[in-house]
């Protein structure tokens, strides 16, 4: 993620705390899509705003690959807000004066929800690569359990960017009565070969680090920092755009105007990527990166249309699908593919391509047209069975 530019309108969600709850245990384990049972599962989550009397104003935020539960407000330092603080809060696009907003760290994450870095109760050691592989559907199963725990039967909306949008699509297709409206931003229904290739190289960088030790680096007090930093540096390039990088860095040298003629950091863009890699090491786990990127690789809900079509025909919640014209990680073609399938099955869908020079990371930034589009969409009625006509502008 790039540095986030904050709104000049709206207010902060204020001081918030991350809560934790155990949602599955040995008596009631989570049965993963693979058939493997997993328990216990602790989930870290945050909430913003107030749940209304009839529990009808809840919105779930599904975070992207390297996000976490801390989406808005602050933990005591207002200068260090949540990762989507410009988007969630009083009088912001996801208005916490109107909505009760929930964001949970993903299954397999490393910020409070059970994942590869968690302790396996059977061995009293971190799972490492013994953690079972899971799917986007399994992530959603954990979200659904949290919503049930909070006493909510139906969401006003589910919103997600990138991997978060993939979760929203799965949730709406598999459990159409649970979501009143769906927002997918910079998302896709399937990774291309190029997308998978980027993730494959990132995983190789991690696994070939001498400190990886087959995923057991925690047990021996090591960290595959070099590999994880390289993985992050490469991925970060795909989150930006050519135009954005040209404007921000060009070919400017880091120190002065004379090149050093060596292999140390010399260009400003090199310095920036090194910084992004170093910062990432402070907050993310290498094994979580492996598992979450692999789950993205396997996601493909429209692959078998004989199975997908009946699910889509039961889906009446309106969709908003948003792309950005400079995003080349999940370019506009990905969004148009989703829109075409939804519209073909008479799912109410609105599509917007927003102009932005910031690439994939645009969904994290303040772009007035983007924010207005989402705010307007959330203001519409979202009753089940809406007959609003689909349109793919």
Which residues are catalytic, by number? 162, 327, 360
* Strands in the chain per DSSP E: 19-24, 30-31, 37-38, 41-48, 58-62, 88-89, 94-95, 100-104, 119-120, 125-126, 157-161, 182-185, 319-324, 349-354
CA 206/CA 269 separation, integer angstroms: 22
Report the number of secondary-structure helices (H) and strands (E) in the chain.
10, 14
340 within 8 A of 61, measured Cβ to Cβ: no
Name beta bridge partners: 267: 253
CA–CA gap between residue 264 and residue 271 (Å, rounded): 10
Contacts for 65 with CB less than 8 Å, ≥ 6 apart? 162, 163, 289, 292, 293, 296
Contact (CB, 8 A) for 347 and 257 = no
Nearest to 166 by CA among 145, 138, 146, 197: 138
Q: What are phi and psi of 39, to 5 degrees?
A: -165, 150
Interacting residues of 160 by C-beta distance below 8 A, sequence separation 6+: 61, 62, 63, 64, 166, 167, 168, 183, 184, 185, 187
The burial of 234, by beta-carbon neighbours within 10 Å (0-12 exposed, 13-18 middle, 19 or more buried), is given as middle
Rounded distance between C-alpha atoms, residue 167 and residue 173, angstroms: 10
Tokens read off for 262: 């060596």
Which is nearest to 356 in space by CA: 377, 334, 376, 371? Answer: 371
Fill in the DSSP letter of residue 80: S
């Amino acid at each position: 993620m790039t540095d986030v530019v904050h709104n000049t309108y709206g207010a902060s969600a204020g001081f918030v705390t991350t809560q934790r709850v155990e949602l599955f245990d040995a008596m009631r384990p989570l049965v993963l899509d693979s058939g493997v049972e997993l328990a216990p599962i602790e989930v870290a989550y945050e909430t913003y705003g107030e749940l209304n009397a009839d529990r009808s104003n809840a919105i779930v935020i599904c975070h992207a690959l390297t996000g976490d539960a801390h989406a808005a407000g602050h933990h005591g330092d207002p200068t260090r807000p949540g990762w989507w603080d410009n988007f969630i809060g009083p009088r912001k696009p996801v208005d916490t004066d109107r909505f009760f907003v929930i964001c949970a760290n993903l299954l397999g994450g490393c910020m409070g929800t059970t994942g590869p870095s968690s302790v396996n109760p059977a061995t009293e050691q971190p799972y490492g690569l013994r953690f079972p592989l899971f799917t986007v559907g399994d992530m959603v199963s954990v979200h659904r359990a949290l919503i049930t725990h909070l006493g909510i039967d139906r969401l006003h909306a589910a919103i997600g960017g990138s991997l978060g949008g993939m979760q929203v699509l799965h949730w709406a297709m598999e459990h159409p009565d649970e979501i009143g409206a769906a927002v997918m931003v910079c998302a896709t229904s399937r990774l291309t070969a190029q997308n998978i290739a980027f993730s494959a190289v990132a995983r190789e960088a991690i696994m070939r680090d001498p400190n990886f030790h087959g995923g057991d680096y925690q047990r021996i007090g090591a960290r595959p920092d070099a590999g994880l930093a390289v993985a992050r540096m490469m991925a970060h390039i795909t989150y930006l755009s050519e135009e954005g990088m040209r404007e921000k860095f060009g070919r400017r040298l880091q120190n002065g105007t004379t090149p050093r003629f060596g292999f140390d950091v010399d260009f400003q863009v090199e310095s920036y990527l090194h910084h992004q890699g170093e910062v990432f090491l402070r907050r993310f786990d290498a094994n979580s990166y492996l598992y979450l990127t692999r789950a993205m690789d396997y996601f493909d809900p429209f692959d078998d249309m004989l199975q997908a079509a009946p699910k889509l025909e039961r889906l009446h919640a309106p969709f908003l699908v948003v792309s950005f014209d400079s995003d080349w990680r999940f370019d506009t073609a990905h969004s148009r593919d989703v829109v075409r399938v939804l519209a073909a099955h008479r799912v109410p869908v609105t599509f917007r391509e927003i102009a932005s020079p910031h690439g994939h990371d645009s969904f994290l930034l303040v772009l007035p047209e983007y924010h207005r589009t989402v705010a307007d969409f959330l203001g519409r009625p979202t009753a089940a069975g809406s007959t609003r006509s689909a349109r793919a502008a």
